[in-house]
């Protein structure tokens, strides 16, 4: 991925979505050649010169100060995920000319797998930034059984496996969220060849992925609800919490639970019973 193009496209798309009215600026006339703010308006809101802002939007964040980054974040009304992404882009731009390749973890430490196995009542797995599932407990393998029918990569499953649209009842939103997660990972780790290959594969094979990738949206997903259609029990709603493993850079633990005393809890218990029988067998 071209890092300067990443910066240019991110700033351009953020500027395009802010209207003068939203920014508290007067909108003279009704005809504007560009969507959102003009460059001079963005520069004014960020408190920098037009020439300096133009340099930034051309992909040059070299030497940019934290105060300017904060001004850009305020001007474009960036949320936490977008602000972090801007800082990641600036951090990469200000590293040495020699690319720094961060190793992407491919295996779990035994202690992490032991923790997963101890979580018998909650489906749980650990993934890396490329959406590879590196480890899971038995209940997660049973709940997310369609994902584990091949090498478990959530992005490939969601975009390339037809079963994903039946398994995830909110497929459209989830698919868009996956793009935003991968976009954030690309900002943190732009020289990961496996990530670049994955993005290239999905862009080639999925029109939806290619369209959403071009939007340069980033998001954080730390809690929420997954609405599944499980082949054994039918519809299943599970709340999830996502936690970074502080001792393992780039790894995230996702744990799921059902509302107590609900039909979804009964369904999860049935899957757990089936999984336990399968393990004994």
- Residue 105's pLDDT band (cuts 50, 70, 90): low
Write down the pLDDT at residue 157: 98
Range in 73-77, 99-103, 120-124 with the lowest mean pLDDT: 99-103
Provide the token pair at 44.
Answer: 């004014």
CB 228 within 8 A of CB 168: yes
218-267 residue pLDDT tens: 998 889 999 999 999 999 999 999 999 999 989 999 999 999 999 999 99
Per-residue pLDDT, 64: 93
Question: Which residue, 252, 150, 164, is CA-closest to 208?
Answer: 164
Whole-prediction pTM value?
Answer: 0.86
Q: What is the pLDDT of residues 51-86, one digit of tens each?
A: 999 999 999 999 999 999 999 999 999 999 999 999
Distances (CA, A) of 86 to 73, 146, 217: 8, 35, 11
Instruction: Name the more confident of 77 and 97.
Output: 77
pLDDT of residue 22: 86
Can you list the positions of beta strands (E) in the chain? 124-127, 133-136, 223-230, 234-244, 252-257
Rounded CA-CA distance 120/55 in Å is: 54
Largest distance between two CA atoms of the chain: 74
What is residue 24's predicted lDDT score, i.e. its pLDDT? Answer: 83
Q: For residue 47, give Cα distances in angstroms to 23, 86, 94, 216.
A: 14, 17, 21, 24
Q: Which residues pair with 153 in a beta bridge?
A: 132
What is the distance of C-alpha 119 from the center of its chain? 25
pLDDT per residue over 140-179, tens digit each? 999 999 999 999 999 999 999 999 999 999 999 999 999 9
**pLDDT at residue number 80:** 94
pLDDT in tens, 25-52: 876 655 667 778 999 999 999 999 999 9
Is 184 in contact with 81 (CB distance < 8 Å)? yes
Instruction: Point out the least confidently predicted range of 86-95, 102-111, 201-210, 267-276.
Output: 102-111
Residue 25's SS3 state is coil
- Give residue 173's pLDDT: 95
How far apart are alpha carbons 24 and 26 in whole angstroms?
A: 7
- In terms of Cα–Cα distance, which of 214, 162, 198 is closest to 13? 214
Is residue 147 classed exposed, middle or buried when 0-12, 13-18 and 19+ CB atoms within 10 A define those classes? buried
Which pair of structure tokens corresponds to residue 125?
């797995």
The per-residue pLDDT for 102 is 58
Query: Given pLDDT bands bounded at 50, 70 and 90, which one contains residue 275?
Result: confident
All structural domains of the chain, each given as residue ranges with its CATH number in brackets, are 3-93 (1.10.260.40), 110-280 (3.30.450.180)
- CA torsion sign for 140, 143, 146, 147 is negative
Q: Which residue has the higher pLDDT, 43 or 276?
A: 43
Query: What mean pLDDT comes out for the span 134-141?
Result: 96
Residue 100 pLDDT more than 60? no
Pair 181, 131: CB distance under 8 Å: yes
Q: State the pLDDT at residue 148.
A: 96
Return the residue matching tokens 């936490």.
80
């Amino acid at each position: 991925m071209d890092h300067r193009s990443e910066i240019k496209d991110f700033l351009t798309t953020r500027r395009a979505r802010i209207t003068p009215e939203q920014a508290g600026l007067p909108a003279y006339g009704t005809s504007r050649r560009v969507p959102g703010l003009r460059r001079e308006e963005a520069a004014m809101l960020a408190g920098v010169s037009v020439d300096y802002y133009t340099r930034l939007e051309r992909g040059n964040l070299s030497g940019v100060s934290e105060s300017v980054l904060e001004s850009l974040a305020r001007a474009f009304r960036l949320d936490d995920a977008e602000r972090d992404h801007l800082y990641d882009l600036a951090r990469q731009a200000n590293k040495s000319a020699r690319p720094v390749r961060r190793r992407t973890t491919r295996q779990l430490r035994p202690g992490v797998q032991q923790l997963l196995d101890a979580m018998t009542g909650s489906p749980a797995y650990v993934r890396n930034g490329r959406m590879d599932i590196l480890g899971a407990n038995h209940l997660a393998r049973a709940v997310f059984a369609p994902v584990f029918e091949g090498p478990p990569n959530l992005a490939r499953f969601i975009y390339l496996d037809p079963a994903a649209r039946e398994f995830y009842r909110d497929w459209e939103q989830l698919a868009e969220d996956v793009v935003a997660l991968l976009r954030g990972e690309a900002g943190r780790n732009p020289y990961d060849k496996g990530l670049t290959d994955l993005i290239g594969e999905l862009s080639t094979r999925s029109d939806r992925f290619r369209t959403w990738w071009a939007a340069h949206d980033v998001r954080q997903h730390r809690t929420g609800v997954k609405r599944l259609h499980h082949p054994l029990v039918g519809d299943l709603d599970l709340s999830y919490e996502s936690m970074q493993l502080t001792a393992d850079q780039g790894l995230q633990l996702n744990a799921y639970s059902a509302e107590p005393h609900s039909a979804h809890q009964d369904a999860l218990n049935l899957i757990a019973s089936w999984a336990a029988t399968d393990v004994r067998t």
